[in-house]
Each structure stands twice: as C-alpha cells, then as structure tokens.
Amino acid sequence: MAELPDLEVFSRILNRRYSGKTLEKIDVEVAGKLNVTAKKLKESLEGHQLSEVKRSGKTLQFHFGRDRILGLHLMLRGELVALGEKPPKFPVLIFHFKGGKGFAVTDMQKQATPTLGPPVNEVPDALELDYPVLKKLLEGKKTTIKTLLMDQKKVRGIGNSYGDEILYHAGISPFSIAGKIPDEYVKKLHKSIHSVLETAIKKIEKENGDELTGELRDFMQVHSAKLKQTPKGEEILSEKIGGRTSYYTKSQELFH
C-alpha cells in the first residue's frame, strides 16, 4: 500500500464515506510519530466536521476546517480499515463519526505518521508534473533515473514499484543517468508517469469499489517478485538500486 494511486483511490473513498460527517471522537493508540500530544489532537479535531480528504504526494490530508488539518503518511505498512464488529489489529488512530461509523489507521510497524497542521509542500506532485519541470529536474543530474524518480524532494508520489512500471513503460533503463537521457525519451518519460499512474488509479478504483481494504497489484507488468516475464514475453531482470529491488528488462534503453 501507500503509493500514489492507492492513496488517490483511498482519498476518494474516504470522501464519499465520511465527508460532511462530524468527528465524535478520535482514539490515539500510538502517539510515537504524532507531532503534537494526543490531548492536543483531540482538542483540535473532536466535534468538528470533516469537510474534505485530499491527497498530496504520498500523504492524505483530512480537513476539519481551516487550521484543523491532519496530514497522514502511511509509510511502508500503514493501512486504512473501516470499523466493523472486530476491533482493528495494530491500531494507530481510530476515527469515530457521529452516526456510529468510522475507520482506523493501522500499522503493524508503528511507522504511520500523523501530522497536525502539515506544512505546505512545494515539491511537485507526480500527477501535476509538466514536461518543462521534469526536463529541468533531470538536467545535469548524475544520479540514476530510478533514484531520482523516487526522491520525494524532487517529485512526490512515486515509489519503488511504480518507479519500475513507469520506466518500463517509457523504455528507459532504471540505471540510466538522469542528465544523459535525450529529450525524446524525457518526453516519453513524462507521458509514462501520467499514463501509468492514471491507469493504475482507474484499475484500483474499479477493483476496490467502495471498500477501503485491498491492495491490488495484479496489473504490475515488471515490478513483481513472481513474474519471470513481462506480458510481452521479455525476460525480467532484477537488481538492487539504493537498497531496494528494481525490476527491468533488457529492452529498456540505457543512457550514460
């Protein structure tokens, strides 16, 4: 969980289910990563109406009015679950809305990070990245394109799996030096970022329907430990880049 397309779909579902409802109570089960005290969070949000849920990069933002915004990063293992009969496993935060419904943020690793009053982030979101900005981002950079795409200080929202999918789609090797990629391929990369992410959003939205749960990655073309071949029959290679496994094929062009 927790790359841009999943979060985009979650934000839409959360909006449909909870926007307009008043937060009756919020339980803070794990306060370790919270930037304020549990008491302060409760004082700030309880009794207020959820106006909107937004996605920003790999974070969600719950708007309870001006100056009452809760940011949330799910990190590696964070999940969102609707409250049911059983109490959620590994709860971090539990939102109870008036009328009895609610959801929980869970994380077995306790790394999910809620932030009251998240600072405005100037780094472009992957879905808002236009071609001239991307071109400028790559110019003169000596780092590999895979590392750069995953760098949240440069573009927000792309992680290890979609990074591989995007580069496969664009026909660029993840080991290519960012600054050495010709314009023609930077254009392809720009198109691939949008089309891979938007296609994923549509597929996840279709599968998930109105359910909060689920982690759909069936449509991955290269980034999967199970796959040996792409749908086109190309052999999938894997190698670590920056401590994380990258999946790619020989058909992706290497610029260096």
Where along the sequence are the contacts to DNA (CB under 7 A)?
1-3, 6, 57-58, 73, 75-77, 90, 108-111, 141-144, 147, 150, 152, 159-161, 215, 223, 225-226, 240-245
CB of 45 to DNA, least distance (A): 22
* CA distance linking residue 29 with residue 81, whole number of Å: 15
Min CB(213)–DNA separation in Å = 12
Please state, in angstroms and rounded to a whole number, the distance separating the CA atoms of residues 180 and 186. 10
Nearer to DNA, 84 or 99 (CB): 84
Closest approach of Cβ 59 to DNA, in Å?
8
Structure tokens at 153: 């200080």
User: Whose structure tokens read 């999943």?
Assistant: 6
In this complex, which beta carbon is closest to DNA, that of residue 90 or of residue 97? 90
Give the list of residues 6+ apart from residue 218 with CB closer than 8 angstroms, or none: none
Radius of gyration from C-alpha coordinates of the chain: 20
Whose Cβ is closer to DNA: residue 25's or residue 77's? Answer: 77
Report in angstroms how near the CB of residue 107 gets to DNA at its nearest: 8
Taking the least distance from each CB to DNA, the nearer of 110 and 187 is 110
| Of the candidates 197, 199, 173, the residue with the CA atom closest to the CA atom of residue 256 | 173
